[in-house]
Amino acid sequence: MHDINITTDHSALPSHKSSIYIISNDNGYTNDLSSYLSDFDYLVHLYNDIPQLLEGTGTPPPDIVIVDLPLASSDASRIVRHYYAMDVAPCLLLLSSYSHDIDIIIMLELGADDVFSKSVSFREVLARTRAAERRYKALTLGRTLYASNGSPPRLGTVSYSGWVLDLDRLTLVSPRSNQVMLSRSELQILLLLFRSPGTRFSRTDLSLSIGRTDDDSSRHIDSIVVRLRRKLAKEGSDTLIKTAPGTGYFCKG
């Protein structure tokens, strides 16, 4: 049997409009997208100056960053690296007019939460943005609310088989006490597996947990699991996530 320990601090938060930063060199497209998202009560800030964006001069800080740049460009990877390195990283969504699979994989490896075609409708962009927002709020509650001692309320940790998943820092601490950085999607998958050891989750179940419902969601889940196994293997636990043939994945109960 594996010991499971879950601690959570449910702190109430005031409602607030989510802030979206859009970085693009296609002003016509992003002006229309900005107007559309603003109609759904988002605070949208447009940037075509990358240094200005990365200086963080906008107010409030972003909950979501939408990048509309060629995936193979150094600018796109620079932006993803910058935000992914933050203690509390925003959701990172990347749009692409055209890209090879390897470009998409690289962006996901760097920390992007979602990569999808620029040809999708604004309605689908909104749906993906809302899915990202739900994950963001679930994992970063309390980002704008500080306790009386100046520390943000904590969501807590989930422990499984010597591993400790920190929901506030988006990190995993190994049995060797080494810290493993995770993307939001990676954390969400591990959270589901750690909380229900022995339960075999289908790729559809795992896709829904990260807000994916598109045709490529199964391949996306496989890509996330490959990344997770690679990170776990560096800590000597390459068999922590098991494959359920014809179904999906699970952690041993």
**Whether residue 194 is found in the same domain as residue 235:** yes
Last residue of a domain, one of 83, 117, 139: 139
CATH number (domain holding residue 96) = 3.40.50.2300
pLDDT tens by residue, 61-118:
788 999 998 887 888 888 888 887 776 678 899 998 776 777 887 787 778 888 888 8
Last residue of one domain, picked from the residues 112, 139, 166? 139
Question: Is 6 within a domain?
Answer: no
The structural domain count of the chain equals 2
Q: What is the pLDDT of residue 143?
A: 45
Q: At which of 79, 106, 139 does a domain end?
A: 139
Give the pLDDT confidence score for residue 215 in this predicted structure: 67
* 121 shares its domain with 163: no
For 214-240, write each residue's pLDDT tens digit. Answer: 667 788 899 899 999 999 999 988 889
Task: Enter the pTM of the model.
Answer: 0.56
The answer to whether residue 180 is domain-embedded is yes
pLDDT of residue 60: 63
Task: Check whether residue 121 and residue 191 sit in a common domain.
Answer: no
Q: Do 206 and 192 form a contact (C-beta atoms < 8 A)?
A: yes
More confident residue, 15 or 10: 15
Residue 4 domain-assigned? no
Same domain for 123 and 36: yes
Do 168 and 131 share a structural domain? Answer: no
H-run or E-run covering 169: none
Residue 4: partners with Cβ closer than 8 Å, 6 or more residues away: 158, 159, 160, 194, 195, 197
Residue range(s) defining the domain that contains residue 51: 19-139
Q: β-strand 43-47 against 19-24: which pairing, if any?
A: parallel
Same domain, 203 and 236: yes
In a domain, 3, yes or no: no
| Domain shared by 23 and 133, yes or no | yes
Residues 27 and 122 in one domain: yes
pLDDT at position 153 over 70: no
Domain-located, residue 185: yes
CATH of the domain at 219: 1.10.10.10
CA distances from 178 to 47, 51, 134, 194, 236 (A): 37, 33, 29, 18, 11
What is the spatial distance between Cα 248 and Cα 163, in angstroms, rounded to a whole number? 21
48 located within any domain: yes
Residue at 98 is within a domain = yes
**Is residue 146 assigned to a domain?**
no
